[in-house]
Amino acid sequence: MDPLISVIMPVRNGAKYIREALDSLFRQGCRLEVIVVDDGSEDETAAIAAEYGCRVLSHPVSQGPVVAKNTGLQAATGDFVLFMDHDDRMREGALKTLCETLSGNPGAAAAEAMVRDFLSPECTPGNVSLREEPYYGLFTGAILIRRSVFGIIGPFNSALTAGEIIDWSDRMALHGQVIRKIDLVSTDRRVHDSNFGRTRRNEQFKDFASVLRARLKNGR
């Protein structure tokens, strides 16, 4: 039997884009449990997710995407875990390739593909910046992880607002967990005016400084 993949999607007020993200997931041809963590939405996010047959976990009041990731992680039962943003789109066949890569490399803790930016149709070119080439280093929809890894390195650092991925990567390296990179674009990352990284940039900078201080303290 194919591995079960737990897809965790933290989202707040995502009704505008979540259908596209879910459609792209359910076209992958993999065994999935999709866990949508509704982080205090005031729109139809939860209803849409339920319509698709997702497991919906709700925070009555928004606690932020890091806490939402951990909420989903606590509920996950899959062999592998994928985190995906509600406004991105996974390319057809990408999850199967990630799954085959991780299954075929028992020494790897995760398999990492690339993402590529695209401009959301409602945005005006020039108002936001796009990276022209695909790139590694973004968590959403691009890294498939063995769920057992979190038993070794622990959950995401809920004290951080936006720098949890760097902290996670540091703890992976500290515990000798290997990430297998593959030459594949797995996900199209939507760029628009309300991207979390744009709206919470100050918190991002504070978190990055905090993670850097932790690196220096640990001699890394």
Task: Assign residue 87 the CATH number of its domain.
Answer: 3.90.550.10
Its domain, for residue 53, covers 4-156+175-192
pLDDT the model gives residue 124 = 67
pLDDT in tens, 140-191: 899 999 999 999 999 999 988 878 888 999 999 999 999 999 999 999 999 9
CB 196 within 8 A of CB 162: yes
- Residue 80 belongs to some domain of the structure: yes
d(CA 72, CA 77): 10
The answer on pLDDT for 127 being more than 70 is no
Higher-scoring residue by pLDDT: 220, 85: 85
- Residue 215 belongs to some domain of the structure: no
pLDDT the model gives residue 46 = 98
- Residue 204 belongs to some domain of the structure: no
- Residue 77 belongs to some domain of the structure: yes
Pick from 8-12, 95-99, 119-123: least confident: 119-123
What's the whole-number mean pLDDT along residues 93-112? 98
* Average pLDDT of every residue of the chain: 89
- Residue 217 belongs to some domain of the structure: no
For the chain, how many structural domains are there in total? 1
- Residue 209 belongs to some domain of the structure: no
- Residue 53 belongs to some domain of the structure: yes
- pLDDT band at residue 192 under the 50/70/90 scheme: confident
SS (H, E, C) the chain: CCCEEEEEEEECCCCCCHHHHHHHHHCCCCEEEEEEEEECCCCCHHHHHHHCCCEEEEECCCCCHHHHHHHHHHHCCCCEEEECCCCCEECCCHHHHHHHHHHCCCCCCEEEEEEEEEECCCCCCCCCCCCCCCECCCCCCCEEEECCHHHHHCCCCCCCCCCHHHHHHHHHHHCCCCEEEEEEEEEEEEECCCCHHHHCHHHHHHHHHHHHHHHHHCCC
The answer on pLDDT for 205 being more than 50 is no
pLDDT the model gives residue 132 = 87
In the sheet with 89-90, reading across from the earlier edge strand, the strands are: 55-59, 31-39, 4-11, 80-83, 143-146, 110-119, 179-191, 89-90
pLDDT the model gives residue 207 = 44
pTM: 0.88
pLDDT the model gives residue 88 = 97
